[in-house]
Amino acid sequence: MVSINLKCTLLAPPEKVAAVLLEHAYLGRFFNAQFSQLKSHNKGEMKGGAGAIRQVKTPLAIFSEQIISASNKYICYRIMGDKPVANHQGDIYLTPIEHEGNTATGLRYCITFKPPWWMPSSLIKLFVKHDISQALNKLARYFKEHNV
């Protein structure tokens, strides 16, 4: 199993960060992929939350992800099926913190997955970690520039 843990600080409160991360069709602003929402959230869940399914198109693969749980403090999703990796789960923890007198968010992004047998774990870990790091940097810039 591969595990990746990344952290960043975002200049917005957790509820705004969660809302942006659950706008599935617009995640391409941050990640190197195209996203489209295939299924809406379950009745009674927050917008884009539990039950929502999104399709992810990357240059190398097309796959679907399902939101398992979502709140202003935590988002959990998983890749449906075993491609491009197996047992993939993403856990995003959103913690309110104070930053220069305002409420900001401490974000911790944890990913676990099993790579294909033919691909070295260290190589795919490096690729995914780099991609997610870039996305978090874009997300941080977004909140800095939009002053939300």
pLDDT of residue 148: 58
Q: What tens digit of pLDDT does each residue of 131-142 get?
A: 999 999 999 999
Domain boundaries, the chain: 2-146
3-state secondary structure of 147: coil
Radius of gyration of the chain from Cα atoms? 15
Which of 80 and 148 is assigned the larger pLDDT? 80
Q: What is the mean pLDDT of residues 28-39?
A: 96
Q: What tens digit of pLDDT does each residue of 62-73 get?
A: 999 999 999 999
CA 6/CA 26 separation, integer angstroms: 21
- The residue written with tokens 């929402």 in the block is 37
CA 75/CA 71 separation, integer angstroms: 6
Total-model pTM: 0.95
Percent of the chain scoring above 70 in pLDDT = 99
CATH topology for the 2-146 domain: Alpha-D-Glucose-1,6-Bisphosphate; Chain A, domain 4 (3.30.530)
Q: What is the mean pLDDT of residues 7-17?
A: 97
Q: What tens digit of pLDDT does each residue of 97-115 get?
A: 998 888 999 999 999 999 9
